[in-house]
């Protein structure tokens, strides 16, 4: 048995190292994508959003509001307007993403106790910019409102401490755990690394069996290997080793180069990674055995891999998905891997925290590997050796 596994293992390694394009993709592409994505999110948060201002009050108070927005890292004041038409045109042309509108009599209404109003207009086509600008503007206005009220109360003879308590009768504090700076790299990069690995692994293991059929070399393998288990495992192992090493290199790059904090157990991360790779590679071999040619195998593998990130619950939570999407998401191995990688990195998740998902992933691995054995046996061992290379789906 071990000799048969070693034969297929050695044969696959020779193919990989002779094919420089394949070798470059297996090693270089994941690291390149990890680097590019890390650079993309290196700033971590969205700052310097282009801001336009339409101040129809032109008072000391309205200028104080504008200065507060200018002093914020979130906004970059680039344009001032004299009428609403100019503002609308600049927003439509993409010159600004956010506009601050201060109406006439703003200062007068504040001083008379009627309550002044300012309006923030944001381009909602980009949700990240819209949400960031709305949150930042709300914080700025609340701070200004409290400070303005305190000043008026102090003018009436009230002590600063009493004025502050009246201006802010409810103290509201926010504490963000695990990702206190709301860092986009911490949020996205780990899931993207897992997705890249899945796509590269599936792309090439999915043609591992069907390639032999197209080249007419399947009979040669069968002459040396009588065991379906040996052929299947021998095909999986080289890609497992390559992707396991590459994935760990990307994790090291994320930690050292892009400063993603690692707070958990690395052995636990390795165990989870090994289970995930075994699952998707077993699935890939099953796809390879089912398909008629390399093109068909590649198409099916990508059809599975591409939407898996969206349905994994990594960016869009399961609680917000309709039932069909939840069911589809729970059938994908990435669902049980990507989120738990983030938990191990950021939350110091232990074995008990991920045991359920690890168990499900293990069952999926056993199912996919068993299915791969059955498909390979039925497709290529149910016929005579000399006919095996001619077998069609």
Secondary structure (DSSP) of 60-125: HHHHHHHHHHHHSTTEEEEEEESSHHHHHHHHHTTS-SEEEEE-TTHHHHHHTTS----EEEE-TT
In contact, 187 and 258? CB cutoff 8 Å: no
Q: What is the pLDDT of residue 9?
A: 80
pLDDT digits (tens, 9 = 90+) for 347-375: 999 999 999 999 999 999 999 999 999 99
Cα angle, residue 136 at apex, residues 172 and 164 outer, rounded to 5° = 40
Q: What is the pLDDT of residue 387?
A: 46
Q: What is the pLDDT of residue 391?
A: 43
Confidence of residue 104 (pLDDT cuts 50, 70, 90): very high
**Which of 29-33, 56-60, 83-87, 172-176 bottoms out in mean pLDDT, i.e. has the lowest?**
172-176
Confidence of residue 334 (pLDDT cuts 50, 70, 90): very high
In contact, 159 and 176? CB cutoff 8 Å: no
| Strand partners of residue 120 | 100
pLDDT digits (tens, 9 = 90+) for 267-297: 999 999 999 999 999 999 999 888 888 888 8
Distances (CA, A) of 379 to 126, 150, 158, 232, 357: 49, 80, 88, 13, 32
How much is the average pLDDT of 185-210? 89
The highest-confidence range among 204-218, 239-253, 367-381, by mean pLDDT, is 239-253
How much is the average pLDDT of 125-135? 88
Of 125, 121, 55, 119, which Cα lies nearest the Cα of 83?
55
* pLDDT of residue 162 exceeding 70: no
**Mean pLDDT across the chain, nearest whole number?**
86
Q: What is the pLDDT of residue 381?
A: 72
- Give the predicted TM-score (pTM) of the model: 0.82
The residue extents of the domains of the chain are 2-42+183-388, 49-167
Q: Which fold has domain 49-167?
A: abc type-2 transporter like fold (3.40.1710)
Name the percent of the chain in helix, strand, coil, to the closest 5: 70, 5, 25
Q: Which residue has the higher pLDDT, 50 or 305?
A: 50
Region of residue 331 (left: phi > 0; alpha: psi -120 to 50; beta: else): alpha
Of 61, 79, 63, which Cα lies nearest the Cα of 71?
63
Confidence of residue 388 (pLDDT cuts 50, 70, 90): very low
Q: Provide the 8-state DSSP code for 59.
A: S
Q: How far apart are CA 272 and CA 279, in angstroms?
A: 11
* pLDDT of residue 144 exceeding 90: no
| DSSP secondary structure, 305-336, as one string | HTTHHHHTTSSS-GGGS-HHHHHHHHTSHHHH
């Amino acid at each position: 048995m071990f000799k048969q596994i070693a034969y297929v293992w050695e044969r696959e390694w020779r193919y990989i190292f002779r094919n420089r394009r394949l070798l470059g993709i297996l090693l270089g592409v994941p690291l390149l994508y990890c680097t590019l994505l890390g650079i993309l999110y290196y700033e971590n948060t969205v700052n310097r959003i282009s801001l336009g201002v339409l101040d129809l009050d032109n008072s000391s108070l309205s200028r104080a509001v504008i200065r507060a927005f200018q002093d914020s890292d979130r906004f970059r004041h680039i344009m001032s307007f004299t009428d609403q038409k100019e503002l609308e045109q600049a927003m439509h042309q993409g010159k600004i993403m956010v506009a601050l509108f201060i109406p006439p009599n703003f200062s007068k209404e504040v001083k008379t106790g009627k309550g002044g109003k300012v309006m923030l207009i944001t381009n909602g086509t980009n949700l990240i910019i819209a949400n960031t600008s709305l949150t930042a503007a709300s914080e700025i206005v609340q701070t200004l409102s409290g400070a303005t009220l305190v000043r008026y109360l102090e003018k009436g003879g009230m002590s600063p401490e009493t004025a502050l308590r009246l201006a802010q009768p409810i103290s509201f504090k926010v504490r963000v755990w695990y990702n206190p700076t709301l860092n986009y790299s911490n949020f996205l990069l780990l899931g993207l690394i897992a997705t890249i690995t899945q796509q590269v692994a599936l792309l090439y293991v999915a043609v591992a069996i069907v390639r032999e059929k197209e080249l007419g070399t399947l009979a040669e393998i069968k002459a040396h290997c009588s065991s379906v288990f040996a052929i299947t495992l021998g095909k999986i192992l080289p890609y497992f080793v390559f992707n396991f090493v590459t994935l760990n290199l990307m994790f090291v790059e994320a930690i050292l180069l892009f400063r993603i904090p690692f707070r958990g157990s690395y052995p636990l991360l390795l165990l989870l990674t090994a289970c995930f790779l075994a699952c998707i590679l077993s699935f890939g071999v099953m796809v390879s055995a089912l398909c008629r040619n390399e093109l068909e195998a590649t198409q099916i593998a990508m059809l599975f891999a591409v939407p898996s990130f969206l349905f994994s619950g990594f960016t869009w939570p399961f609680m917000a998905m309709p039932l069909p999407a939840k069911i589809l998401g729970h059938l994908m191995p990435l669902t049980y891997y990507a989120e738990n990688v983030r938990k191990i990195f950021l939350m110091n998740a232990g074995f008990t925290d991920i045991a359920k998902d690890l168990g499900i992933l293990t069952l999926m691995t056993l199912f996919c590997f068993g299915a791969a054995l059955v498909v390979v046996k039925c497709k290529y061992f149910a016929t005579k050796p000399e006919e095996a290379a001619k077998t069609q789906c």
